[in-house]
A and B are shown apart, each in its own frame.
Chain A
Amino acid sequence: DAGVIQSPRHEVTEMGQEVTLRCKPISGHNSLFWYRQTMMRGLELLIYFNNNVPIDDSGMPEDRFSAKMPNASFSTLKIQPSEPRDSAVYFCASSRRGAESYNEQFFGPGTRLTVL
């Protein structure tokens, strides 16, 4: 298995531009998570999906952030318009929620976003 796949790995954009980050979870996993990591705020959970349905988006910082999961193998995190303070590493993670309930989250390699 290729693991969680994220694209792009690096993104440099100018303030005000739209940014779209992409994630492909591990096949067979039914839960997907988006995290943001910065030196100041650490690792923050932004939103998570179960069976493609958003369960909790309380971590999404502002209305400029939106996330979708149109099918089991793809999710996007969009920032529109982007601002310099959005610069961070964005991780996607997936897990398989089953009867056992306690399931490891597998992280993707992350997207390093720089907003100038």
Chain B
Amino acid sequence: GENVEQHPSTLSVQEGDSAVIKCTYSDSASNYFPWYKQELGKRPQLIIDIRSNVGEKKDQRIAVTLNKTAKHFSLHITETQPEDSAVYFCAASDTGGFKTIFGAGTRLFVKA
């Protein structure tokens, strides 16, 4: 069945450094790739997404890249801040965003 693998499971960086989280997906029909941030005890919230007809997208300190051939996509956070500490989930979904498969999550720690 469809699967999304996410690495690393835990990431610790110093404030100001960059953080990179990588995901791979198995379903060739996937064409929408959202990233969610979940703070402790709270709900997942969308932070950025990318569609299959785009290779890269940037929003301030956050960027996502997509390689459809290799079925890889990544989240890049630059100039990390303590408030970036959270669990980040990648996901892949089919057209319409119906069947969304989530990665296992990456727990990011940003040390001040």
Contacts and interface: CB of A to CB of B under 8 A. Distances in A.
A104 B100 contact: no
B43 A91 contact: yes
Interface stretch (B14-22, B62-70, B77-85, B101-109): B101-109
A43 B46 contact: no
Contacts of A103: 96-97
Contacts of A102: 32, 49, 51, 95-97
Nearest to B97: A103
Contact of B97 (A42, A91, A105, A110): A105
Interface in A90-116: 91, 95, 97, 101-105, 107-110
Interface residues on A, range: 20 to 34
B55 interface: no
A43 B43 contact: no
Given A91-B44, A104-B34, A33 B100 contact: yes
A32 B43 CA distance: 16
A44 B105 CA distance: 12
A45 B96 contact: no
Interface in B15-67: 32, 34, 42-46, 49, 51
B102 A43 contact: yes
A48 B102 contact: no
B99 interface: yes
A21 to B, nearest CB: 15
Interface of A: 31, 33, 42-45, 48, 50, 55-56, 91, 95, 97, 101-105, 107-110
Interface of B: 32, 34, 42-46, 49, 51, 89, 95-105
* Minimum-distance CB pairs A-B, first 10: A107-B43, A43-B102, A42-B104, A102-B32, A104-B46, A101-B96, A103-B97, A107-B44, A101-B95, A97-B96
15 contacts: A31-B97, A33-B100, A42-B102, A42-B103, A43-B105, A44-B102, A48-B99, A101-B32, A101-B97, A102-B49, A102-B95, A103-B97, A105-B46, A105-B97, A105-B100
